[in-house]
Every structure is written in structure tokens, then in C-alpha cells.
Amino acid sequence: WYVFSALGFYPVCPGADEYAVGAPLFRHATIHLENGQKIEIEAPQNSPENRYVGKMSFDGKPLAEPFLRYSELKEGATVRFDMQAGPAAE
């Protein structure tokens, strides 16, 4: 769980297709999948001051819901976190 959480998402229910979204601890990480694909995780503004997720995108498209699907991630993806200093305004 901790490794997933440090990457910015984690499984909540074993066997479910969804991963809940959190805040990554790194500015960049790459996950190399068994099928040769990779998941790129980007959070270039991430810092101790910018620890809140303002916006998120999946393969360049805004992510409207706070979860990712395994069925999409396994095909390879770029997940970008736009980090900011305070919680996102609603």
C-alpha cells in the first residue's frame, strides 16, 4: 500500500478495477509493466510547500474523477499531477 500511495494512487478494494488518487511523493516516477508498457507519473511542481493536488490529467486529458482504472493503466499511460500549496477550491 505504501509504495502505491507514494506514487499517488492506491488500490482500495482487492480485485476492483479502481485505484483511489492521492498525492505523490515524487516529481517523476516510471513503472515498467510486464507487457512492455510503462506508466509515467509526473508531478513537476511537487515540493514540501506544494503538496496538494490541484488538477490531474490522464494521457493529457483532464481527470474528472478521483480514481484511475487498472484496465486503462495496464495499456501504458502518463498521469500528471499539478501540485499546489493549498487544497483545491471546490
User: Mean pLDDT across the stretch 46-55?
Assistant: 92
Strands 67-69 and 18-21 turn out to be: antiparallel
For residue 8, pLDDT over 80 is answered with: yes
H or E stretch covering 73: helix 70-73
| pLDDT above 70 coverage of the chain, percent | 97
In a domain, 51, yes or no: yes
* pTM of the predicted model as reported, rounded to 2 decimal places: 0.87
Q: Decide: 88 and 49 in contact? Cβ < 8 Å.
A: no
| pLDDT at 64 (0 to 100) | 83
pLDDT band with cut points at 50, 70 and 90 for residue 88: low
In a domain, 18, yes or no: no
Task: Count structural domains, the chain.
Answer: 1
| pLDDT at 56 (0 to 100) | 94
User: Mean pLDDT across the stretch 33-53?
Assistant: 95
CATH label of the domain that carries residue 64: 3.30.2080.10
In a domain, 89, yes or no: no
User: Mean pLDDT across the stretch 23-27?
Assistant: 94
- Exposed, middle or buried, 5 (CB in 10 Å: 0-12/13-18/19+)? middle
Q: In which domain, by residue range, is 37 found?
A: 2-11+24-84
Integer CA distances (angstroms), 34 to 31, 37, 39, 65, in order = 10, 7, 11, 27
